[in-house]
Amino acid sequence: ALPRWWLLAAAVQALPGAPWLAERAYRRFLRWRPALQARARRLLGEGAEADCGAACDPDRGRHG
């Protein structure tokens, strides 16, 4: 979705152990994501969900 970021991704993926480390970091982030989203909604207020749209929840708003 971001132009030219694939170059960085390809370079990092070529490093030994990088894909394994990235997978572990992403899985850890997925455990924290609901709490981070809840905190963002509290900080931004009740209308934040409507304002941030797909940025708050990428699975919503793209398919509808």
Whether pTM exceeds 0.85: no
Show the domain range for 30: 4-55
> Which pLDDT score is estimated for 48?
54
Convert the pLDDT of each residue in 28-47 to its tens digit: 999 999 999 999 999 998 66
In sequence order, the 6+-apart residues with CB closer than 8 A to the CB of 57 are 37
Is 60 contained in some domain? no
pLDDT exceeds cutoff 50 at 64? no
Domain tally, the chain: 1
Give residue 37's Cα distance to chain centre: 11
Is 48 contained in some domain? yes
Average pLDDT over every residue of 5-28: 90
